[in-house]
Amino acid sequence: MSDYRALQVTGSHNFAAVRRRRQEPGAGEVRLRVEACGVCHTDVLAAEGVRADPAHPIVPGHEIVGVVDAVGAGVTAWREGDRVGVGFLGGHCGECRNCRRGDFVNCENQPQTGTTVDGGYAESVVTRATGLVRIPDGLSSVDAAPLLCAGLTSYKGLAAVDAEPGALVAIQGIGGLGHLALQYAHRLGYRVAAIARGGEKAELARALGADHYIDSLATDPGEELRGLGGAAAVIATAASGASMTPLISGLRARGQLIVLGAAPDPLSVQTADLIFGTRRISGSLTGTPIENEDNLQFCLAQGIRPSVEVMPLSAAPEAYAHMLSGRARFRVVLDAAA
């Protein structure tokens, strides 16, 4: 086929179904036949025009799984037929200051898939080979897609926890990130506390691996964590700075608040809560492609899977709206063949 279907967006929330001419990959690039693409909250950067040139059409989507169907010049590690993924970070340059120090996540010249370059709300995508992730046999493309972003973000956040097995780790929020973070924390051997608003998710939290459930509407979550001995770490996944603030006081000495959810409002902290107890607050973005392969292998071995709702590619605008509504349970994935 010389052309392919895509859902592009211009301005704010202006989706259009189009047909585009299939591109040949350039040097250092590959082309994928897309099989599945997750719908992530970060897609708002494209869909709501939060980017440098909203008038320029862009194809959103950065949780892409597909099959390599063309290889550009200079690419030696990948071949046609490989099943691969690409996430939000679309391949490091290898030449900037951060890359030269091995900090590929913070590459200064890295495309953001689905935001600064076309993403996976399409049947075809061209991407840098340095951003590719090998998908293991045993993981379906639909399951693998959300693990490339939501999964990796949770995995890397928990990898930053400096605590012994059996330590108390709290997961704030049970949504697209949190429902995966609970599974990772449980499989890593921590005693897990889930924190959410209301009591309706208590049973689900325990099914996902939580040992304790804290209803932040009914009690002070910081006080509850202190009553459990204090958390070695709190993984904050809900996009609310105000809801993160009271968790700091629930950390044990040298405890960590690790922020994964990008909130529109700031979190507040009393300096004494950091100084007395030597507590820390840090952010965690994502990981490198090889770390993503470690993540997928861990998920495969430990039975970690996302809860997904599958929708056809043609319904991408509806899928995006469903994700944004907060009613999705818990990740929406587009089937590019439908």
Q: What pLDDT, on the 0 to 100 scale, is given for residue 137?
A: 97
Using CA atoms, how far apart are residues 260 and 137, in angstroms rounded to an integer?
28
Q: What pLDDT, on the 0 to 100 scale, is given for residue 307?
A: 98
- 230: nearest Cα among 208, 211, 254, 259: 254
46 contact partners, CB below 8 Å, separation of at least 6? 9, 58, 59, 60, 114, 115, 119
- 249: nearest Cα among 229, 214, 225, 283: 225
- Position 88 pLDDT exceeds 90: yes
Q: Percent of the chain, pLDDT > 70? A: 100
**How is the chain split among helix, strand and coil, in percent rounded to 5?**
30, 30, 40
What mean pLDDT, rounded, does the chain reach? 97
Using CA atoms, how far apart are residues 36 and 31, in angstroms rounded to an integer?
15
Residue with token string 């990130």: 177
pLDDT tier at 112, thresholds 50, 70, 90: very high
Query: Do 194 and 184 form a contact (C-beta atoms < 8 A)?
Result: no
- Position 163 pLDDT exceeds 70: yes
User: Average pLDDT for residues 24-52, to the nearest whole number?
Assistant: 97
- The answer to whether the Cα torsion of 188, 142, 328, 132 is positive or negative is positive
Q: What pLDDT, on the 0 to 100 scale, is given for residue 298?
A: 98
- Position 220 pLDDT exceeds 90: yes
- Position 333 pLDDT exceeds 90: yes
pLDDT tier at 1, thresholds 50, 70, 90: low
Query: Do 267 and 245 form a contact (C-beta atoms < 8 A)?
Result: yes
Q: What pLDDT, on the 0 to 100 scale, is given for residue 183?
A: 98
User: Average pLDDT for residues 81-106, to the nearest whole number?
Assistant: 98
| CATH top class, domain 3-149+287-335 | alpha beta
Using CA atoms, how far apart are residues 185 and 194, in angstroms rounded to an integer?
10
Going by their DSSP bridges, the two strands 331-335 and 308-312 should be labelled as parallel
Structure tokens at 159: 């990898």
Q: Which CATH architecture has domain 161-283?
A: 3-Layer(aba) Sandwich (3.40)
178 contact partners, CB below 8 Å, separation of at least 6? 171, 172, 194, 196, 237, 238
User: Average pLDDT for residues 297-313, to the nearest whole number?
Assistant: 98
Q: Where are the domains of the chain?
A: 3-149+287-335, 161-283
Per-residue pLDDT reduced to its tens digit, 240-259: 999 999 999 999 999 999 99
DSSP assigned state of 23: P
User: Average pLDDT for residues 167-179, to the nearest whole number?
Assistant: 97
